[in-house]
Amino acid sequence: MSLAVARKPLRADAARNVDKIITAARQCFREFGPDVPLQTIAVTAGVGPATLFRNFADKEELVLAALNRQLRLTVDPVIDGALADIDAAAGLFRVLESLMDAASADANLLGAVAGRRELLTGITGSLMDSISVLLVRGQGQGSLRPDISMSDMFRLLAMLIGVVDTMEPGSDAWQRPLALVEDAIRTVRPTRPLPVHVPVPASASAGAQADILRG
For residue range 68-77, what is the model confidence (pLDDT) as tens digits? 999 999 999 9
44 and 64 assigned to the same domain: no
Whole-number Å distance between alpha carbons of 103 and 109: 9
Flag whether 126 is in a domain.
yes
**158/102 same-domain check:** yes
pLDDT of residue 10: 57
| pTM as predicted | 0.85
The list of the chain residues with pLDDT below 50 reads 1-6, 212-215
Q: Are 105 and 153 found together in one domain? A: yes
Yes or no: say if 179 and 96 are a contact pair by the CB < 8 Å rule: no
CA distances from 44 to 55, 148, 176 (A): 16, 46, 36
The overall average pLDDT reported for the chain is: 88
| Dist. CA 200–CA 166, nearest whole Å | 6
Is residue 160 located within the same domain as residue 72?
A: yes
Say how many domains are in the chain.
2
Does residue 144 share a domain with residue 67?
yes
Answer whether residue 1 is part of any domain.
no
Q: Quick one: pLDDT at residue 211? A: 53
Question: For position 1, what pLDDT does the model report?
Answer: 30
Are both 76 and 178 inside the same structural domain? yes
Q: CA-to-CA distance for 55 and 44, rounded, in angstroms?
A: 16
Position 12 scores a pLDDT of 73
CATH label of the domain that carries residue 180? 1.10.357.10
Residue 86, in any domain of the structure: yes
How confident is the model at residue 3, as a pLDDT? 38
- Residues 140 and 128 placed together within one structural domain of the fold: yes
**What is the predicted pLDDT for the residue at 48?**
93
Element (H, E) at 162: helix 150-163
pLDDT at 9: 56
Which residue range(s) make up the domain with 163? 59-189
List own/partner pairs for 84-90 with CB under 8 A and 24 or more apart.
Answer: 87/141, 87/143, 88/134, 88/135, 88/137, 88/138, 88/140, 88/141, 88/143, 88/144, 89/134, 89/138, 89/141, 89/143, 89/144, 89/186
Answer whether 94's CB lies under 8 Å from 76's CB: no
